[in-house]
A and B are shown apart, each in its own frame.
Chain A
């Protein structure tokens, strides 16, 4: 393969990388995406699949709104099904304590958006007929929804390839090559690839690629567990977020798809796929599913898995273009990168090709972390091996 014909190299074929690649290629750039492993094999295909609007957050809400707009036409845009289900989301409390938390959530959400409604248990059960009698109250928004993360990622990958984009799998990137303050390309396990713009979308590994430039990139990686049951007849469409610590969506096929619970902070390497073991905690997840939806007791546990995902220090997206070295950019998700991806891709592609964007990302650059301690992971107890916190 001729490795000198690219305008843009994107490191990481996760959803953020693929979305950026798609939009940059569509705008006329010649783009190559390079990944350590297979396409979208980490967080992007293991996510819950919710579009979390971050309606509570004035910094991120405008970009989330842009993402939501694109979700509604994504199947048409890309040409492949994503299972987008724009049927809103529902937070449900099952105890007095959780009702108090629910009120706090409602208050927080209302600061940026007024489409969140506090509803009673009967109203919750209208949205999810199989909800337990223990349900006490809910917060509902008709906005947003969920999709199938595996289909979404692959839809972006295929749409990018349909435009002539190139994806290089199983190719670890070790460093960014810079000469005289300008990006020249990347060094991989099978040689160098050249382009004068490099976009880092490699989740937790971004931090390591940026270390040589003295950049403190505040993203950490964490392992979270998930499971799926055998299919039930179609029961509900809304995205369920239980205050018992569990999110459950019913897939188009009918399976209950759930995740949540304890999470463990981990480190990621250049060339090694992170281990994603499950723990016996999946039994406690099962118990909570049955508590939320008693009918689930009659299904079977089909599969469990774990995902390693990236979270920024303040749980908001990072979209950044460096002045020095020139031609270097980086993006990361705040723990809900899945839903933000369409908008992040649009903004990053414009930043990459034009050096500017009209997308509302003014407060999402790295500049907000100017005074962040180098020891932030330790202070936050987010070092590898630590649990929850």
Chain B
């Protein structure tokens, strides 16, 4: 068996395990991972929310490559087992024959490295694109020193570069504690944890660890503001119990570890059918028993959606053979109440932080401007009457996020909504009383990361493409109406 070209996007634990198992069955396996990312790419906060305070040492690319590769033992094992490992490479798009596009030929995935781009043909494409930080807006969240829990953990453990010596952690999730443990090991002080409810979210064991290390938890509080001029120097917390009591804390870093969401840009932009999973909360690709998406030969491998035994199920579909090899790690499932928890943070931050907080960093749009659908400031134009985004009639969906995006530019900037689109949807749901699944998400398109134009330009612009490149309605550059129309 084997002999298939299998391309796996994402060298997560699951991605690596699948690569090894598929390789053991003699398939031609390519494993693509965007890490180590270039400093410039990291500044778009994708996949993780790195924030604007990235250490300059990240520009030492050789050291970074070594650090990132050596931090991933399974990936090293893939290299040893002749998996074609491509790191620092982005799968920016994927193409297959489908409705209204019948000239693609063999399905292919577009990849881009620091040197250029190529199209990789595949028999099976496995999307193991992992998760990203959910970081909601608060006053000062654009300051250097604010970052997401996934980003912080990755920077410490893989990139081995971190700026900050005393860090405030937002949330008491397993991710918050994971980051705090990694940080403390590197001698980074933890100023405390901020929790909007009166309950610790992660396990009792995690709580015991906190208590042993004498780390305070600020219950019934959210962050009101991160302060500082060119970087974070302190933070102010505000009570959620109605007392509006303020607490000031010195810190030079704020780790936002409220929740994570799946990276669905690639399957969504490929046209995989999606469904809304309210527990995440996010849209996920629909899959069959073998985790195949609605697009033939394309599989979804993810910790989201509660699937088990994923490696074997995918392998049995790609190989037409009963597969016995390849054990799979059991992943801690996403916290059950993560959807509610994320929603609670957004609602409290909005309620207590007000409407003039910047929601979209790329385009500098406030929460209030967003909810009122105001045109961007650079147009210096108003609206004759106020409008809301609700559709008329009783039909679903009730709100089209693309409309709100197009009018306000929230999600239309450099990060293409990677920072703000989920919070924006939650805000629309909360403000207009519409369930999240009744909001049509803003569309995803390629490339899933911004790419240097010089790297993505086609080098294989062959003679035919060059000479036969059609103008819009090419043969009628001189229109029929001039040349003499057949209808007359």
Contact = CB atoms under 8 A, between A and B. Distances in A.
Interface string B88-124: 0000010100111111100010100000010100000
Interface string B451-486: 111101110010001001111111111111110010
Contact of A108 (B271, B453, B482): B482
Given A108-B478, A168-B393, A301-B451, A287 B487 contact: no
Interface of B: 93, 95, 98-104, 108, 110, 117, 119, 271, 375-376, 378-379, 381, 383-385, 387, 391-397, 400, 402-403, 406-407, 409, 414, 416, 440, 443, 445-447, 450-454, 456-458, 461, 465, 468-482, 485, 487-488
Nearest to B102: A385
B477 A154 contact: no
Contacts of B402: 38, 41
B13 to A, nearest CB: 31
A300 interface: yes
A304 B117 CA distance: 16
Interface string A28-48: 000000000011010001000
Contacts of B99: 266, 274-275, 277
Given A274-B99, A304-B447, 16 more contacts: A1-B393, A57-B481, A108-B482, A159-B384, A170-B393, A171-B395, A229-B453, A245-B469, A253-B378, A266-B100, A277-B101, A279-B104, A280-B110, A283-B456, A297-B452, A315-B479
A169 B395 contact: yes
The 5 A-B pairs at the shortest CB distance, nearest first, are namely A79-B384, A81-B381, A283-B458, A170-B395, A275-B99
Interface in A304-335: 304-305, 308, 311, 313-316, 335
A245 B445 contact: no
Contact of B95 (A223, A279, A300, A314): A279
A207 interface: no
Interface of A: 1, 38-39, 41, 45, 56-60, 75, 78-81, 83, 101, 104-105, 108, 111, 150-151, 154, 158-159, 161-162, 166-171, 190, 223-224, 229-230, 243-245, 247, 252-253, 260-264, 266, 274-280, 282-284, 286-290, 296-305, 308, 311, 313-316, 335, 368-372, 384-385, 387-389
Contacts of A105: 477-478
Contacts of B396: 170
A307 to B, nearest CB: 11
A224 B472 contact: yes
Contacts of B102: 264, 385
B416 A302 contact: yes
B383 A277 contact: no
A348 to B, nearest CB: 22
28 contacts: A41-B400, A78-B384, A81-B375, A150-B406, A154-B406, A158-B387, A161-B387, A162-B385, A167-B391, A169-B391, A190-B395, A223-B100, A230-B414, A245-B469, A274-B100, A279-B104, A280-B458, A282-B456, A283-B458, A284-B469, A286-B457, A290-B454, A298-B454, A300-B453, A301-B447, A302-B450, A314-B485, A369-B487
A75 B381 contact: yes
Given A230-B450, A287-B458, A104 B478 contact: yes
Contacts of A80: 375, 381, 383-384
A388 B470 CA distance: 7
Contact of A300 (B400, B450, B480): B450
B470 A372 contact: no
A322 B69 CA distance: 70
B119 A171 contact: no
Contacts of B472: 224, 245, 247, 260, 263, 335
B458 A284 contact: yes
Given A158-B385, A247-B472, A368-B487, A286 B450 contact: no
Contacts of A266: 99-100
Contacts of A277: 95, 98-101, 271
Contacts of B414: 230, 302
Given A170-B397, A315-B476, A280 B119 contact: yes
A260 B481 contact: no
Contact of A276 (B100, B376, B385, B403): B100
Contact of A372 (B393, B403, B481, B487): B487
Contact of A305 (B95, B445, B450, B481): B445
A303 B446 CA distance: 6
- The interface centre, meaning the residue of A56, A284, A290 with most chain B CB atoms within 10 A of its CB, is A284
Contacts of B387: 158, 161
Given A80-B383, A170-B395, A371-B487, A59 B481 contact: yes
B208 to A, nearest CB: 47
A264 B101 CA distance: 7
Contacts of A190: 393-395
A170 B391 contact: yes
A277 B232 CA distance: 43
Contacts of B469: 244-245, 261-262, 284, 288
Nearest to B468: A388
A58 B481 contact: yes
B410 to A, nearest CB: 13
Given A41-B402, A158-B383, A111 B407 contact: no
